[in-house]
A and B are shown apart, each in its own frame.
Chain A
Amino acid sequence: MNNLTYKNSQTLTSSDIENLALRFGGKSDDYIEIVNKQQNNNTINKYALLKEINNELNM
């Protein structure tokens, strides 16, 4: 089990933030990936089904 405990850093999901934290200290958890709220709203508004579901949930 042990060699799967650490994420294989050759994978596509290897993170540049992790590399940064590795080199200069600090924890990669401290980094906050900003959510593009504008784009999310655009997506919801663009597709009617999504919009409807969104409205229902937020009632």
Chain B
Amino acid sequence: MQRVFIKGVKGGLGSTSVVANLACVLKKSDVDVIAIDLDAKSDLGLHFGLPWKYTKGWSNEASFEDAIAHFHQDNDGIVFLPFGDSDDTSTNSITKMVDKCKNLNYSDEAWVLFDCPSHINISHYPLEKKDIVIELVNCDAICHSLIYRRLQTLKNSDTDWKHYFLVNRYNSASTLEFDLFSLWQSTLPLMAPFFINSDEVIKESTAYRNVALNCAPYSVANDDFETLAGWLVSKVAL
């Protein structure tokens, strides 16, 4: 199983949407895709069309076997596990869940995507060498500052996973965003060479209880997610 951890460098950058859309694109090549919600907001399910009345998730169960009973499957065949509405949102329980997910029984080609909360430092998770971490950023100065702070902590950590930054909601018409991204492209080693364009359809699709790919197959954002998926595949092969 290939694990991909997606979190925002701060909150509200659209990481859940990215997980949902990425899952949809990966699913097109007919492999198993599993999405696990680690965020207490527990909104990943809504992206996959989970009925609003289902509020329970893995956090409501003590044992792993009971937790995985909360797996749902959406129309495209993606298997997802909501967080639930438990009060226990501690880092510890989340980390333990990540660990236990190693026991899921899927093939080597399967993708497991984790929707991570932005406030938990990634180094708390039991990451391994072949895990991929994508930190979402927007093109603004606060994210710029956060990126550099992150780079400093990354330098000091000793674990060895593939860490990348990815720009989300990119709008090249904005001078600041354009300038910042040019700067990042050429100076930041971990910046992904592409971005997810700002597209209304990503917002709209959740209102339609669907993902952008299904709502607007001719959008640019769709292409961006395909680029993301292809890039991930190439990183896995490394």
Contact = CB atoms under 8 A, between A and B. Distances in A.
Contact present between A and B (CB < 8 A)? yes
Given A49-B144, A53-B144, A53-B148, A3 B180 contact: no
A50 interface: yes
A24 B202 CA distance: 39
A44 B180 CA distance: 9
Interface string A25-57: 000000000011001101110110110010001
Name B's interface SS. helix
B204 interface: no
B131 interface: no
A10 B219 CA distance: 12
A35 B183 CA distance: 9
Contact of B230 (A6, A42, A47, A57): A6
Contact of A1 (B31, B144, B194, B223): B31
Chain B interface: which size bin? 20 to 34
A11 B183 CA distance: 23
Nearest to A35: B186
Contacts of A53: 144-145, 148
Interface residues of A, number: 25
Contacts, number: 68
A40 B182 contact: yes
Given A12-B223, A13-B194, A36-B182, A4 B229 contact: yes
Interface of A: 1-8, 10-13, 35-36, 39-40, 42-44, 46-47, 49-50, 53, 57
Contacts of B31: 1
25 contacts: A2-B29, A4-B26, A4-B233, A5-B230, A5-B237, A7-B230, A8-B226, A8-B227, A10-B223, A12-B220, A12-B223, A13-B193, A13-B227, A36-B182, A39-B182, A40-B187, A43-B179, A43-B180, A43-B182, A43-B183, A44-B183, A47-B176, A50-B144, A53-B148, A57-B148
Contacts of B65: none
Contacts of A10: 223
B109 interface: yes
